[in-house]
Amino acid sequence: MRSIYRRVLTHAREHGWRSVTKKVLQRTAAKALENLALDEPVLPLRPEDIMEAARRGTVDKPRPRTGSLDVGWVCTPPGPGSGGHTTFFRMVQGLVDRGHRCTLYLYDRNSDDVSRHASVIRQYWPDVDAGIRSVAEGFDGLDAVVASSWPTAYAAATRRGPDVHGFYFIQDYEPYFYPRGTLYWLAENSYRLGFTNIALGEMITPVMKAEIGQEPAATVPFACDTATYRLLDAGERQAPRQGVVYYAKRAVDRRGYLLAKLALEQFHSLHPEQEIHVYGDRITGWSIPVNNHGNLSPAELNRLYNRTIAGLAISYTNISLVPEELMAAGNVPVINESTFSEQVMRDPDVVWAPATPGRMAEALAQAVEAPNIDARAAAIAQRGRLDWSVSRENFARVIELACANEPGSPGLL
């Protein structure tokens, strides 16, 4: 170490400290690029779960179960505001409300200590009436287990016994989250692990059929939390609608963060008087002013939707929860044209735009320039929307009928 210091001091005396700093920065940058080039893809599950699931293959059909069930729900630890976990937890509570006993089994590839994750769940999803454990505790005593994503499908396949009914709640076609390669194949193979596959929305079935020649056993519909997301009267809003809103997920490329950034920067050039609200991730480095809200509770989010005129809701795979929630609050969703989204979202109030920054900015501009904004908002909000209670009931029926081994179950609901 002393020899390094001596060399640095010698170089500084001969060439000056500025050259030392320049040299250090050059070496640091070169090393960072070298490390970046050598980075491996992150495996989001434990290697032994891949090995064990491959050895086990599918399991025999378990014995019939009726009456009150003990159901384990396997998921990764959620972060505040996670839409996928919110939908999953709605299905959990749907079974609890029908008299079944439910336990969340958290799968963290790095730790079996779930205490800090449990506190997040209790804080941000206080209505979930379920126990919380680690998958390391095993599934003894369960009648059924429900996986929520491809890593948890492997974890559940590895740990469930031959007499435990297995289900897989598929909210998106997860192979599309990756380029073609190992992770793509592992995600694709998770649909072949012997579970009763239950899809959310109409996009999953044709994609699975086209990609792997197999369809989910049942489909439950996309819906909306109509109790939370609703039109507020003028007194509750306290000000006329103004501006646009965007849900930012910087690390989730399928939600179009880069496109949204470019589109909103272009929109600002068209309408600099319109405030741009961003929630979810706190963003930095934009060339325009934005109002950073961070994570918001559902009630806070509904108030924000009621304050604004339009919302940008980009997705390159299955539709997100955002468009339905926007419309329930009288907000105009601007969505990128996509065969996948169009299979699910057929509402006439949606504004579809080609997935280019200019065209999406123009669509937002047209939304804020339209006349009679409050009357349009009221008309949008008054359209009937399917509530999640319907999806919860359908999901619960699939579980109950499949566990009972009823003839012809499950099916398309």
Full 3-state SS string of 230-276: CCCCHHHHCCCCCCEEEEECCCCHHHCHHHHHHHHHHHHHHCCCCCE
DSSP per-residue codes, 70-90: EEEEEEPPPPTT-HHHHHHHH
- Answer whether residue 255 shows pLDDT above 50: yes
**What pLDDT, on the 0 to 100 scale, is given for residue 344?**
83
Separation CA 271–CA 275 (nearest Å): 9
Per-residue pLDDT tens for 192-247? 999 999 999 999 999 999 999 999 999 999 999 999 999 998 778 778 999 999 99
Residue 105's SS3 state is: strand
Q: What pLDDT, on a 0 to 100 scale, did the predictor assign at position 341? A: 85
Choose between 337 and 346: higher pLDDT: 337
| pLDDT value of residue 55 | 73
Beta pairing class for 244-248 and 196-200: unpaired
Which pLDDT value is given to residue 207?
Answer: 96
Q: What is the pLDDT of residue 411?
A: 46
Beta carbons of 246 and 335 less than 8 angstroms apart: no
What confidence tier does 405 reach under pLDDT thresholds 50, 70, 90?
confident
Nearest to 317 by CA among 347, 345, 295: 345
Q: How far apart are CA 35 and CA 23, in angstroms?
A: 18
The pLDDT, as a whole number, for residue 57 is: 60
Domain with CATH 3.40.50.2000 in the chain: 234-385
Range of lowest pLDDT (42-46, 98-102, 333-337, 338-342): 338-342
pLDDT in tens, 64-95: 999 999 999 999 999 998 999 999 999 999 99
Lowest mean pLDDT among 24-38, 251-265, 275-289: 24-38
Tokens of 236: 């509750």
Instruction: Label residue 279 exposed, middle or buried (CB < 10 Å: 0-12, 13-18, 19+).
Output: buried
Q: Quote the pLDDT of residue 288.
A: 97
- Closest by CA to 97, choosing from 297, 391, 298, 413, is 391
**Mean pLDDT across the chain:** 90
Q: Which CATH number fits domain 234-385: 3.40.50.2000, 3.30.70.270, 3.40.50.720, 3.30.1490.20?
A: 3.40.50.2000
Q: Which helix (H) or strand (E) holds 35?
A: helix 17-38
Give pLDDT, residue 33: 52
77 preceded by a cis bond (ω within 30 of 0): no
How many secondary structure helices (H) and strands (E) does the chain include?
16, 13
pLDDT tens across 142-199, in order?
999 999 999 999 999 999 999 999 999 999 999 999 999 999 999 999 999 999 999 9
Is the alpha carbon torsion for 120, 122, 123, 126 positive or negative?
Answer: positive
Closest CA to 324 of 149, 89, 87, 91: 87
What is the structure's pLDDT at 134?
97
CATH 3.40.50.11090 residue ranges in the chain? 47-223+390-403
Alpha-carbon distance 255 to 319, whole Å?
9
Region 293-321: what's the mean pLDDT?
A: 95
The sign of the CA dihedral 150, 79, 217, 204 is negative
Q: Are 129 and 89 in contact (CB under 8 A)?
A: no
| Domain 47-223+390-403 = CATH 3.40.50.11090 | yes
What are the structure tokens assigned to 121, written together?
A: 């769940």
- Run of H or E residues at 370: none
Q: Which tokens is 302 given?
A: 């509904």
CA neighbor of 129 nearest in space, from 165, 104, 156, 166: 104
Reported as a pLDDT band with limits 50, 70 and 90, residue 98 is very high
* Dihedral in degrees, nearest 10, Cα atoms 387, 410, 77, 390: 10
The pLDDT-based confidence of 410 (bands split at 50, 70, 90) is low
Instruction: Provide the sign of the torsion angle of the four alpha carbons 35, 40, 45, 50, taken in this order.
Output: negative
pLDDT of residue 311: 98
Sign of the C-alpha dihedral, residues 57, 63, 66, 70? negative
Residue 32 has pLDDT above 70, yes or no: no
Distance CA 5, CA 12 (A): 11
Give the whole-number percent of the chain exceeding pLDDT 90. 78
pLDDT, residue 115, reads: 93
